[in-house]
């Protein structure tokens, strides 16, 4: 018997709107009991329990909820539960998946899913995604792989998954790496694994954190004024730049970031492109507070920098963390 526990947080999978339509609906309006009613009968050797932890559009998700979820899963992982499924809105699903990948302390499968179409749409994708996620969470092969996202017949790593389409049902990928594997009905087929440190090997312990250090993202564009950096530097403990190309920005921004070094403010250099790598470059990293994001997009670099700030104030150690996680 495999015991799978479902934690519902809202999102489009629990959304309702005008019959048939895919737009103009309210996310997170159905309780988890209604989601369960959409499922076909589960195998006799699979026991499913469920709880509603919140009912949010995932644009309302914040660090407080991430801490709550991580701690809750860490506690429940000590019980007879064999795997977890989390239903979540797709807009920030990649962020929650990465945070939990760094903060949960279990080898048991943790699978996140959701839907692009509300429950009232013609051909809603939620029931099938949920059904597959439950089956994936019950598979021994899904253990020890970090937090997974199961969506539209594919399995993604929480480390690399990104939303790449605004409305189509096949809305996620892992950029150049594609996916970790496929689902075909209730069967999983793993093809890849992530080499990044996660879950039980992660150095981050959120058990006693009451909040996450504030890290903000600044988007660079042609002619972007550098005084935006001053504004955020006075409020945040770290910054992430969504730079052009391979994490680039103007000489004015380079100068300003160098000035922020004196205030011991870490600045992570990511890219707004979404593919490729931002690696060490002496033009930017001449200032010791400037750290390349490697393959993390800005929204995930923000999460890693925030957690890194809970364990170190050394820029060198932060860079090492960015290389490994």
Chain positions contacting ligand ASP, by CB under 6 A: 11-12, 27, 57-59, 89-91, 114, 116
Catalytic residue among 12, 90, 120, 169: 12
Q: Which is nearer to ligand ASP, 20 or 223 (CB)?
A: 20
Confirm if 223 and 76 have CB atoms less than 8 A apart.
Answer: no
Confirm if 132 and 113 have CB atoms less than 8 A apart.
Answer: yes
Tell me the closest approach of the beta carbon of residue 17 to ligand ASP, in angstroms: 12
The first and second tokens of residue 313, run together, are 């104030």
Tell me the closest approach of the beta carbon of residue 151 to ligand ASP, in angstroms: 10
At residue 136, φ and ψ (nearest 5 deg) are: -65, -45
Distances (CA, A) of 29 to 25, 34, 142, 184: 9, 10, 30, 29
Tell me the closest approach of the beta carbon of residue 275 to ligand ASP, in angstroms: 23
Tell me the closest approach of the beta carbon of residue 176 to ligand ASP, in angstroms: 24
Q: Which is nearer to ligand ASP, 218 or 303 (CB)?
A: 303
Confirm if 39 and 127 have CB atoms less than 8 A apart.
Answer: yes
Question: Which residue, among 315, 95, 77, 68, has the nearest Cα to 206 in the 3D structure?
Answer: 68
Q: Give the CB-nearest residue to ligand ASP.
A: 89
Q: Which is nearer to ligand ASP, 89 or 238 (CB)?
A: 89
Tell me the closest approach of the beta carbon of residue 58 to ligand ASP, in angstroms: 3
Q: Which is nearer to ligand ASP, 57 or 226 (CB)?
A: 57
Q: DSSP class of residue 234?
A: T
Q: Which is nearer to ligand ASP, 13 or 305 (CB)?
A: 13
| 12 assigned to active site | yes
- The 10 Å CB-count burial string (b at 16+, else e) for 129-156 is bbbbbbbbbbbeebeebbbbbbbbebbb
Question: Which residue, among 267, 279, 276, has the nearest Cα to 241 in the 3D structure?
Answer: 267
Active-site residue numbers?
12
């Amino acid at each position: 018997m495999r015991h799978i526990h479902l934690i519902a947080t809202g999102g489009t999978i629990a959304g309702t709107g005008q019959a048939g339509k895919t737009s103009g609906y309210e996310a997170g309006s159905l309780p988890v009991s209604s989601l369960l009613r959409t499922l076909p009968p589960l195998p006799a050797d699979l026991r499913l329990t469920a709880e509603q932890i919140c009912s949010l559009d995932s644009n309302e998700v914040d660090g407080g909820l991430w801490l709550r979820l991580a701690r809750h899963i860490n506690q429940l992982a000590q019980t007879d539960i064999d795997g977890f499924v989390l239903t979540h809105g797709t807009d920030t699903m990649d962020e929650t998946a990465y945070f939990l990948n760094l903060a949960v302390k279990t080898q048991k499968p943790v699978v996140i899913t959701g839907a692009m179409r509300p429950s009232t749409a013609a051909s809603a994708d939620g029931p099938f995604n949920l059904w597959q996620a439950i089956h994936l969470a019950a598979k021994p092969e899904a253990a020890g792989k970090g937090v997974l996202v199961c969506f539209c017949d594919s399995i993604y790593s929480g480390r690399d998954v990104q939303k790449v389409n605004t409305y189509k049902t096949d809305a996620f990928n892992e950029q150049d790496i594609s996916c970790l594997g496929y689902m075909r009905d209730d069967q999983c087929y793993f093809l890849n694994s992530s080499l990044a440190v996660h879950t039980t090997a992660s150095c981050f312990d959120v058990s006693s954190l009451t909040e996450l250090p504030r890290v903000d993202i600044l988007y660079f564009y042609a002619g972007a004024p550098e005084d935006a950096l001053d504004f955020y530097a006075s409020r945040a403990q770290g910054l992430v730049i969504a730079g052009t190309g391979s994490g680039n920005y103007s000489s004015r921004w380079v100068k300003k970031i160098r000035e922020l070094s004196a205030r011991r403010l870490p600045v992570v250099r990511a890219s707004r492109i979404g593919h490729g790598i931002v690696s060490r470059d002496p033009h930017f990293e001449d200032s010791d507070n400037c750290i390349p994001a490697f393959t993390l997009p800005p929204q995930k670099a923000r999460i890693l920098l925030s957690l890194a700030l809970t364990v170190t104030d050394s820029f060198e150690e932060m860079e090492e963390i960015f290389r490994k996680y």
